[in-house]
């Protein structure tokens, strides 16, 4: 792997996840999640919207998200049928994911677990 994570990688991960089946089925594999869902279906619209936003970016924007200024975000929103706020949310999710991956690469799992508000018994010292 290249030592980077960009929107192309993010899109690949989304596509791999969608190939595995419906989201409700995937979440049901997580211990305890089936009790939380109680037979409810998970709306896949946000995932499709996320993909539409990423697909509306140029290759240059996908590889270097730092170039996403206001006019580019406006064009992406128009091309994906979303709002600028939706594009901003996708960019924020991407940076959060990028940060999490960097922490995992560093082996800094205790900070990562605190970030997810796991109980102290599950956190590493």
Q: What is the pLDDT of residues 43-72, one digit of tens each?
A: 778 888 999 999 999 999 999 999 999 999
Look up residue 44 and give its DSSP letter: -
Residue with more model confidence, 58 or 35: 58
Mean pLDDT of 101-112: 69
Q: Backbone phi, then psi, for 123, in 5-degree steps?
A: -80, 145
Residue 120 has pLDDT above 50, yes or no: no
Mean pLDDT of 4-10: 90
Q: Which CATH class is domain 7-115?
A: mainly alpha
Question: Mean pLDDT, the chain, as a whole number?
Answer: 81
Q: Look at residue 45 in the predicted model and tell me its pLDDT.
A: 84
The beta-strand segments (E) located in 10-112 are none
| Residue-range domain boundaries for the chain | 7-115
């Amino acid at each position: 792997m290249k030592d980077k994570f960009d929107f192309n990688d993010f899109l690949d991960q989304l596509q791999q996840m969608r190939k595995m089946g419906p989201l409700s089925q995937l979440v049901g594999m997580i211990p305890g999640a089936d009790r939380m869902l109680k037979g409810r279906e998970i709306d896949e619209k946000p995932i499709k919207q996320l993909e539409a936003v990423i697909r509306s970016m140029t290759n240059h924007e996908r590889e270097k998200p730092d170039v996403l200024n206001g006019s580019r975000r406006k064009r992406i929103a128009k091309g994906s049928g979303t709002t600028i706020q939706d594009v901003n949310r996708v960019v924020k999710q991407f940076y959060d994911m990028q940060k999490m991956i960097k922490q995992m690469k560093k082996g800094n799992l205790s900070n990562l677990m605190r970030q997810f508000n796991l109980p102290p018994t599950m956190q590493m010292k």
